[in-house]
Amino acid sequence: MLGRGGCRALLPAVLSVVLRNQPIGFAARRSLISEVLRRRMSPTLPKPSGLYTIMADPWQECMDFAVILARQAGEMIREALKHEVDVMIKSSPADLVTETDQKVENMIFSSIKKKYPCHCFIGEESVAAGEKTVFTDKPTWIIDPIDGTTNFVHRFPFVAVSIGFVVNKEMEFGIVYSCVEDKMYTGRRGKGAFCNGQKLQVSQQEDITKSLLVTELGSSRKPETLRIILSNMEKLCSIPIHGIRSVGTAAVNMCLVATGGADAYYEMGIHCWDMAGAGIIVTEAGGVLMDVTGEPFDLMSRRIIAANSIALAERIAKEIEIIPLQRDDES
């Protein structure tokens, strides 16, 4: 067993590993060092064998910070709802953006960049302003400042802040704050999904004839796109199923699957920022993500089935006609 002097001598090497491989904050580094010392000095605790065994969750500090930012964003949105909303049009008359969308995204990104300057960022309003969607293996924050902008404009009470965090192109954690409802949904890889601290679990209903689905009409008003969307809804309803619901925000729709309130959600034409926060909440609640073709889920594909089971997702995929879409990482 190492003495105290030996433990202190170990610290520079540990710090070197952390700083080289894990772009994490000071508090996380301090926690790592404390854990090394504790295990080295204890005659009973297992000795550290590597970075990931001595530090259970290198991204917990990032997740805690994301929750704080989501609450701050929610306060900004609730305050803005008290006033008149200036609306601008993006890709179609149903694809809206407001000054609040832009202010919220700027607040979130500037806060993250100050704390984690080596991380990457993808945001809905930044892309709308002309930035490219660059998706790499680096730690990446994917933000939708207001998921449900049309709801926000009309004061329809389902408006969410969505924050996804991806490393090596895998979702590590997700935050969805439905701020009018004051519901904070969180999911962390390997640690479960929660809403206001209560653990989430998807439903067990695999019989599509007894299922409740959620989807959206989307923002495109092209006749062919609308035809496919409505045709898909008709085919599913004719199976038959119990029904189809829409609340106007992809992130909240997916969280409803995580709660067990809906059995599955599907949509085409959304973006990575609509899915990155809620996707891991669904999977950590026991659900699955799948491409609408039945192939593995692809965050950049702009389409998704989020369901309580593989069986239900595959059954939905059998009925769906595909809408041709440009990928997010090709825009």
Per-residue pLDDT for 11 more than 70?
no
| Alpha helix stretches (DSSP H) within the chain | 4-21, 26-41, 51-54, 60-80, 99-115, 124-128, 149-154, 223-237, 250-259, 272-284, 310-319
Q: How confident is the model at residue 95 (pLDDT cuts 50, 70, 90)?
A: confident
Instruction: Give the strand order in the sheet containing 243-245.
Output: 243-245, 212-214, 264-268, 303-307, 288-290
What gap in Å lies between CA 97 and CA 6, rounded to an integer?
58
Question: Of residues 136 and 128, which shows the higher confidence score?
Answer: 136
In the set 100, 133, 149, 225, the catalytic residue is 149
Chain segment 215-272, per-residue pLDDT in tens = 999 999 999 999 999 999 999 999 999 999 999 999 999 999 999 999 999 999 999 9
pTM > 0.85: no
Q: How confident is the model at residue 68 (pLDDT cuts 50, 70, 90)?
A: very high
Per-residue pLDDT for 72 more than 60?
yes
What gap in Å lies between CA 110 and CA 107, rounded to an integer?
5
- Provide CB contacts within 8 A for 26, sequence distance 6+: none
pLDDT of residue 58: 87
For this structure, is 144 an active site residue? yes
For this structure, is 146 an active site residue? yes
In the set 146, 163, 228, 281, the catalytic residue is 146
Q: How confident is the model at residue 40 (pLDDT cuts 50, 70, 90)?
A: low
Question: Of residues 97 and 190, which shows the higher confidence score?
Answer: 190
* For residues 300-320, average pLDDT: 98
199 strand-pairing partners: 194
Per-residue pLDDT for 25 more than 80?
no
What gap in Å lies between CA 111 and CA 46, rounded to an integer?
38
* For residues 278-306, average pLDDT: 98
Under a CB-based contact definition with an 8 Å cutoff, are residues 165 and 66 in contact?
A: yes
pLDDT of residue 26: 53
pLDDT of residue 54: 40
* For residues 119-135, average pLDDT: 85
Per-residue pLDDT for 176 more than 70?
yes
pLDDT of residue 23: 47
Under a CB-based contact definition with an 8 Å cutoff, are residues 150 and 248 in contact?
A: yes
For the ranges 72-76, 92-96, 112-116, 197-201, the lowest mean pLDDT is seen at 92-96
Of 137, 72, 54, 81, nearest to 109 (Cα)? 72
Of 317, 63, 15, 12, nearest to 188 (Cα)? 63
Helix 99-115 with 60-80: angle, nearest 10 deg: 160
CB atoms within 10 A of CB 297: 19
For this structure, is 79 an active site residue? no
Chain segment 41-64, per-residue pLDDT in tens = 555 555 454 444 445 678 999 999
* For residues 120-147, average pLDDT: 89
What gap in Å lies between CA 69 and CA 107, rounded to an integer?
8
> Using only C-alpha atoms, what is the Rg of the chain?
22
Tokens representing 58 are 């290198």
Per-residue pLDDT for 98 more than 60?
yes
In the set 274, 284, 319, 328, the catalytic residue is 274
What gap in Å lies between CA 313 and CA 102, rounded to an integer?
35
Task: Indicate the average pLDDT of the chain.
Answer: 87
Question: Of residues 6 and 323, which shows the higher confidence score?
Answer: 323
Per-residue pLDDT for 305 more than 70?
yes
* For residues 14-39, average pLDDT: 50
In the set 101, 147, 263, 328, the catalytic residue is 147
For this structure, is 149 an active site residue? yes
In the set 61, 105, 124, 216, the catalytic residue is 124
Q: Give the amino acid at 266.
A: Y
Chain segment 105-115, per-residue pLDDT in tens = 999 999 999 99
Q: How confident is the model at residue 130 (pLDDT cuts 50, 70, 90)?
A: confident
Under a CB-based contact definition with an 8 Å cutoff, are residues 262 and 168 in contact?
A: no
Percent of the chain beyond pLDDT 70? 82
**From the centroid of its chain, how far is CA 288?**
14
Of 154, 67, 66, nearest to 109 (Cα)? 66
Of 218, 195, 199, nearest to 92 (Cα)? 218
In the set 61, 105, 144, 263, the catalytic residue is 144
